Amino acid sequence: MAGKFDEVYARSLADPEGFWAEAAEDVVWTKRWDKVLDDSNPPFYRWFVGGECNTCYNAVDRHVEDGRGDQAAIIYDSPITGKQRTLTYSQLQDKVARCAGMLRGFGVEKGDRVIIYLPMVPQAAVSMLACARIGAVHSVVFGGFAANELATRITDAKPKVIISASCGIEPGRVIAYKPLLDGAIEISGHELNKVVIVQREQETCELIEGRDADWKEAMEAAEPADCVPVAATDPLYILYTSGTTGEPKGVVRDNGGHLVALKWSMKNIYGVDPGETYWAASDVGWVVGHSYIVYAPLFRGCASILFEGKPVGTPDAGVFWRIISEHKVSVMFTAPTAFRAIKKEDPQGELIKKYDLSNFRTLFLAGERLDPDTLKWAEDNLQIPVIDHWWQTETGWPIGANCIGIEHLPIKPGSPTRAVPGYDLRILDPDNNELPAGELGAVCIKLPLPPGNFPTLWNADDRFVEAYMAEYPGHYKTADAGYLDEDGYIFVMTRTDDIINVAGHRLSTGAMEEVLADHPDVAECAVIGVADQLKGQLPLGFLVLSAGVERSHDEIVGEVVKMVRERIGPVAAFKTATVVARLPKTRSGKILRGTMQCIADCQDYKVPATIDDPAILSEIEEALQGVGYAGKG
C-alpha cells in the first residue's frame, strides 16, 4: 500500500506545474507568475516566468513584519576566536539594509555582480542578503582561496565591488587575505568601483587609498536601502565550481525557483519548524552554506548557526555537542568526514555524554558517501535518526533524501533513501537506456529539473549543454554512478570517473570503501584505481586508523584485504592497502581521489585550489612509494 511519501512523489512527477505552484503559495510575490514552467527552449527550462519577488524580503523583512523581529535569526559561534553573537531578525534587517545602501553608494545596481571573499563571520551572510535586497548578483569565493583562483572568478564575474576581510583564522594560524586579494585583482586586471574590508582584530591590514573602504565606517555612513523586486528568472548568485578543464564553472541560481524549492525543503525534507534552531556545519563558500546556512533557514523563519571552527581541535572533538546543547539545535546537517574526524578522536563517544542533547532530534549527513560504519557510530551514540542525503552544487538542494517532514521511511545503510519529490531519477547505460534494479550505471535526472536547480552556467550556455545535458539526451548527467534497488532506494557508489575497470569488470571503488570502513580499527579510508599492465586497473586502499590503535599495520591491511575478498569477491583483485596519517581533502571535506590516482600513476596534476593542506600530497607520495607506486613506471 502506498504511503504518504509515495503519494507526494507521484504527484510531483505527474503534475509538476500544479505541485510547484502550490509550494509557491508559501512565499511572498510582488507579482504572480504568468507561467509556472516555460519549457519552450529545452534544456533551458525556466520556472515562474513573469513572476517577481525579492529573496531578502522573504528571508528577513517578512518575519519582522509578522511580529517575529525579536527572534534569533543568526547565531555566530566562533570557538576559534572565543566569540559568540546573536542577530535577531530586526537587527539583521537593519544591517542588511545598511549594507545594501553601502553597495548602492558604491555604484552597485540590479544585475551588477559583487564578489564576497570572507571567512565564517556574520558579515558574510549580511553581504549575501544585501546583494539579494537590491537585485545584485553575489559570488561568494571561499575565504583564503589562492590569488590565481580568485582572479579567474573576478575575470569571469566582472564585479563592481569586492567585500573581503583582513584575515581568516584557522586553528593555530592566521591567514592574511589582503595580499591574496590584492594579487588576484592585479592578475585579473579588472577595474573595481570599491573594495570593502572587514578589519579583524587578529590581524589588520593597510587599505589602498581611493580604492579600499573600511566596512565599519562605510556601514555607518550608509543610507538603508529597501528591497527591490526582481524577476523570478533573474540570477540571485553565481557559485563557481571546479571544472575538469581547469576553468571554473559559474553555476547560476535564479531567485524564484530557489526561494520556492528551498523553503519547501526545510519543512518537507528536514522537518524544521519556524522558531527552531537549525545548524548546517559548513562554510558560506560552498553550496551548503548558501542553501542551508543563509537562505533556507531564514526563509523558514528559523535561527541559523554560523560556526567558525572545526569538528576537532577547537578545542576538542566535543565542540559539536557543546553547540547543539548551548543553542538548543533541533536539526543539524554536516559532512560524513566531520563525523569520521570526531569518531577518530573519540571512538567511544565519551564527549557526547557531557552535554544535554535533549532538543537534538535529527542529524543529516551529505557531501560524500555515508559509509555504514559512520552511520552506525552516529546512530548508536546519538540515539536519533541519522539521515544520509545526496545532492550537488548544481542542484542547490537534495536530489535523494529521507524526507522526514513527509514520511520517515526505513533507513538502508549506504543509501540516501529515495529520490526527492520533483526529481525523476533514472539509471542509464552508455546508450541512454534505463537499467533494471540492481544494475550499476550513470545516475541521471530526466528533464526538466525541478525549481532551485541551476538554469545555466554564467555566460556559458554552450558549456552548460556540453557538460551536463549532451551525453544523455533529455537528462541531466550527475556524473555519479550507482543503482536503484527494487524499492527505488538510491545507492550512489562513486563518481563515474571512479568506476574502475579490472580485467573487464566494472567495479565501484565506493563499494570497496564500504568494506574497509567496516573494519573496527579504520576511522577513514579511500580506494583508487591504479594503472596495471595486465588487468588495466587495480584497486589500492588507503587507511586512516582510529586514535589509540597500536596493532601492526601489516596485520590490519591483511584483514581488510580478506574482508574485500569475502564480501565483493576475488573479481575485485583487492590486494594492496597502505596506512596513512590523513587523507588529502578539499576544505569542504571531499577526498581528492583523482589527485591521489595521478600521483600513483606518475601523471602530471594540478594541486587543487580547494585542498585543505597541500603538504599532505608528499605524504601520500611517500606512502605510495612504500607499496610500489608513484615512481613504479
At 628, list the grid cell: 610500489
Q: pLDDT (tens digit, 9 = 90+) per residue, 99-117?
A: 999 999 999 999 999 999 9
Q: What mean pLDDT is predicted for residues 207-232?
A: 98
pLDDT score recorded for residue 1: 52
Place of cell 567511544: 348
pLDDT score recorded for residue 330: 98
Beta strands in 323-401 (DSSP E): 329-334, 362-365, 386-388, 400-401
pLDDT score recorded for residue 246: 53
Q: pLDDT (tens digit, 9 = 90+) per residue, 512-547?
A: 888 899 999 999 999 998 888 777 788 999 999 998
Q: What mean pLDDT is predicted for residues 383-412?
A: 96
Looking at the DSSP assignment, which residues form a beta bridge with residue 333? 280, 364
pLDDT score recorded for residue 146: 79
The rounded mean pLDDT for the chain is 93
3-state helix, strand, coil in the chain (%, to 5): 35, 25, 40
Q: Which of 476, 395, 396, 497 is nearest to 428 (CA)?
A: 476
Cα–Cα distance for residue pair 387/403, rounded to 1 Å: 9
Do the beta carbons of residue 591 and residue 553 sit within 8 Å?
no
Task: Indicate the pTM of the whole model.
Answer: 0.85
pLDDT score recorded for residue 506: 60
Split at pLDDT 50, 70, 90, the class of 245 is: very low
Looking at the DSSP assignment, which residues form a beta bridge with residue 307? 77
Q: Please give the helix or strand (H or E) that residue 538 lies within, else none.
A: strand 536-545
Q: pLDDT (tens digit, 9 = 90+) per residue, 176-202?
A: 999 999 999 999 999 999 999 999 999
**What is the dihedral sign for C-alpha 175, 176, 177, 181?**
negative
Split at pLDDT 50, 70, 90, the class of 144 is: confident
- Which region, left, alpha or beta, applies to residue 312 given φ > 0 means left and ψ of -120 to 50 means alpha? beta
Q: What mean pLDDT is predicted for residues 286-310?
A: 97
Q: Which domains are delineated in the chain? A: 4-309+389-482 (3.40.50.12780), 503-626 (3.30.300.30)
Cα–Cα distance for residue pair 190/160, rounded to 1 Å: 9
Tell whether the model's pLDDT for residue 495 goes beyond 90.
no
Tell whether the model's pLDDT for residue 504 goes beyond 70.
no
In one-letter notation, the amino acid at residue 496 is T
Tell whether the model's pLDDT for residue 631 goes beyond 60.
no
pLDDT score recorded for residue 497: 61
Q: pLDDT (tens digit, 9 = 90+) per residue, 38-77?
A: 999 999 999 999 999 999 999 999 999 999 999 999 999 9
**Percent of the chain at pLDDT exceeding 70:** 96
pLDDT score recorded for residue 632: 46
Is 41 or 170 the better-scoring residue by pLDDT? Answer: 41
Is 340 or 22 the better-scoring residue by pLDDT? Answer: 22
